[in-house]
Structures are given as structure tokens and as C-alpha cells.
Amino acid sequence: MGILLVDGGRTLQGQVEVQGAKNSVLPILAATILACGQCVIKHCPRLRDVDASIQILRHLGCSAQWESGALVVDTAQMNCCSIPDELMREMRSSVIFLGAVLARCGQAELSYPGGCELGPRPIDLHLTALRALGADIEDRGGTLRCQAEKLCGTEIVLSLPSVGATENAILAACGAEGTTVICNAAREPEIMDLQEFLVKCGARIHGAGSSTVTVEGGRPLHGCVHRCIADRIAAATLLSAVAAAGGEAVLTGVDYRQLSTVTAALSEAGCRIRSQNSTISIARRDRLHCIRPVRTAPYPGFPTDAQAVLMAALLRSAGATVFVENIFENRYRHVDELARMGADIRVEGRVAVVCGVESLHGATLRSTDLRGGAALCVAALAAQGQSEIGELHHIDRGYEDIARDLRALGASVRRVESEEPHGEENKPEAQAKRKIRLSV
């Protein structure tokens, strides 16, 4: 794996197009299984998690290849309904394949998914939804064996508005006879994008974006051409980078309405935000100041995935800002790394208090998870001196090329490939070898 070398202390300026949404394309790739034909996915980001989904599709007998910047998937020759443990462990969202495979094959077998260690993320809601549709699910030693001679439309009431459970229920319901109504559904924009894709394939679905989604199942689906929405968390990361380093920038190709809670927080902190159509402009001249408590919540509340990057943007703000994490219980793993740069953050359970400091300094850091790794990049831009960020496999899961996008805004960021395996690059002996290579 490689490391990112970030030279901080420079203001940013420039324009960049926001990448395709990770949390949109992954369920769409699972949904291609239902199409039984060729789908062309445009604006698909080249991510580690997308690569994992491609490997799963190929294991199932489907074809997937990049053509002219788009991902072309053909599921007509799918001949397998089980996913091995080594592929499931690559990412948490691999469980989204369960509903699609079950709907197409009448059976599915897979193990519990992997992903970032952010605390317990049970898939009980997924399984409850599929059982309501008529699936018989058996859990043996972490392996799920699912069968359904016939899926039947029904009413599904989710106890929590889980994004993954909503998506799995939608996919399975497409293969069920009759109408399925999903109550207390998650409202995220990515679910709306999944609905748009499936409708293009011939499905009858409406209600995505609200708390009630209705699926009229049993219709044969076909392939289509679809362009994914922009990644609102990648956009939040770039906005936070400008807020941290200062300067001004324009983000294009993004729906500003999906980022209203993030832009509101940055505006309150002292940034000037202007939004219109598919463009967001941000400018930050003076020192930021503290803001009202930031409480993460399901959409349309403040996104948990943007919590870490906003926190990084406020490290040098005047005053103290309180963060309350209501989604994941272990989402402050990046705090210890930020402290290496001189940040003053106090954590108690789900609450973190960021006390602004006058300055930050460069340090040798390691990514703890996807969004935590992005937060380190944001903080490094505001620090004096150079920072080295390792364990980039976390960042690669959700950012197509974070160094490229930050350079488009004028940042001094470069990636240096190293030979150390994951987890080894921050050991003292590995750091010494790396410094020797960089000095040659």
C-alpha cells in the first residue's frame, strides 16, 4: 500500500467535479442481477468497494468490465447463488446482494459481511424484511442460507430507518408476487437513485425519498443505461477541506439540496456558501468559529459519514463545538490520530468536544476507517509542515482519487506507493525504510 504526503498551510482555490456516489452505485450493482441483461453504469467511481462488488458479480457468473469510463455489467449468464466468505469480508454493504440473489434464484448463501469497524451493525432488519416476504433463512456459524419457493408482497415495517435494510427489501420485493409496502423506510438520496435505476429497468416503484416505499413486484426487468448521482460525502469532504485550509472553490455536478445540513454547519462556522442548480461554491477567509452542537441522524439529518470531516475542519476554530454521534457507537477512532497533530478533542461515550487550537502541525498518521482517513487529509491541509497518512486501503474504499481531487483545488498532496502490507506501514522499521526511499 501507499502513503499520502500532504504539505499543509496552503489556501485552496479551484474547481472540481464530484465523483459518483459510493453508497448509490453499490446497491445498483447488486440490482443489476435482477435485470438479467446488460446495464451500463455511468459516473461509476473506481473504488475498492466497487472492485469488491465486481468480484462478487463475476463469481456469480456475470460479466463486468470498464468501457469508455463506464462500468458495463451483464448478468444474463449468472449461474451461481452463493458468495464465499473472502468476498463478503471485503465490505459491509456486500449484504445488499442477499435480496437480489434471493429474488432471482429463489435461494442464496453468504456469510456475514465485513467493512469498517464502527461498532455493532447487525443485519437483523435485513433478515426480518426478507422473512416477511416469505424467505426461510437459516444461520449456521455465520453463514446465511436463504430459500424461498415464492416471495409474496406484504407490508414491511422497519423498526429503524435502515438504509441497507430498505434497499434489500426493495430488491427482494421486485422479485415478489404482488405489492410490497415498506414503512419507516430510510429516505437517503441513494435510495432514490436505486429506485430510478430499477424503474429504468422496468420495475414499478414509487415513494423513495419518503418514509413509505411501494414496490409492485413480479415484473420482468431488463437492462438499461444509468448515470449515478454525485457522492454527497465526497462533496462534504472537499467542502471541509476548503473550510480547514481557507480559500475558495467550486464543486460541480452535485445536488446542493442533499448537503443542506453540512453547508448550514459550514456557513454557521464562518464560510460563505452559494448553491445553485448542480454547483456549490465555498469561500473561507477568516478564522472559523464554533457552532451549535452537531448531532448525527438519519437523512435528512446531519450524516454520520460527514461527522469526521467536519470535525477536522473545526480543529482550528475559535471556541468549542460539541459532536453527538447517534448512529455508530465507535465513530471517534480518528480522534487519537488528530491529537497527534495538536488537536484538542475530548471524548466521552458518544459525545466529542472539539476545542479549537491556534495551530496544528504535521505528523505521521494512519487511517482508522474510511471517513476517519478522509478527516486526516482535511486536518493535514490546515497543519503546518508535512503529514504522512498511511493505511490508505480504508480511504480507497470510498474515494476514487482523493489526492487528485485535492490537487485540483491547489493542495500539495501526492501518493507514494510502498511495499509494506496493510497495517505494517506505520511500524518504526517501515517508517525508517520509507524515509530512506523518499530521500533517494
Residues tagged active-site = 116
Q: Are 344 and 368 in contact (CB under 8 A)?
A: no
Phi, psi of 425 (to 5 degrees): -70, -15
User: 426: annotated binding-site residue?
Assistant: no
User: 23: annotated binding-site residue?
Assistant: yes
User: 407: annotated binding-site residue?
Assistant: no
The amino acid sitting at 135 is: A
β-pairing, 412-417 vs 143-147, is: unpaired
User: 326: annotated binding-site residue?
Assistant: no
User: 122: annotated binding-site residue?
Assistant: yes
Nearest to 356 by CA among 289, 272, 264: 289
User: 434: annotated binding-site residue?
Assistant: no
Q: Are 321 and 363 in contact (CB under 8 A)?
A: no
User: 156: annotated binding-site residue?
Assistant: no
User: 41: annotated binding-site residue?
Assistant: no
The amino acid sitting at 348 is: E
Q: For residue 390, give Cα distances in angstroms to 1, 37, 92, 139.
A: 8, 40, 22, 37
Q: What share of the chain is helix, strand, coil (3-state, %, to 5)?
A: 35, 30, 35
Q: Are 53 and 44 in contact (CB under 8 A)?
A: no
Residue with cell 414491511: 156
Q: Are 144 and 110 in contact (CB under 8 A)?
A: yes
User: 7: annotated binding-site residue?
Assistant: no
Q: Are 124 and 113 in contact (CB under 8 A)?
A: no
Nearest to 32 by CA among 79, 66, 64: 64
Q: Are 252 and 16 in contact (CB under 8 A)?
A: yes
- Alpha carbon distance 270, 263 (integer Å): 11
* Annotated binding-site positions for UDP-N-acetyl-alpha-D-glucosamine: 92, 121-125, 305, 327
* Annotated binding-site positions: 22-23, 92, 121-125, 305, 327
* Annotated binding-site positions for phosphoenolpyruvate: 22-23
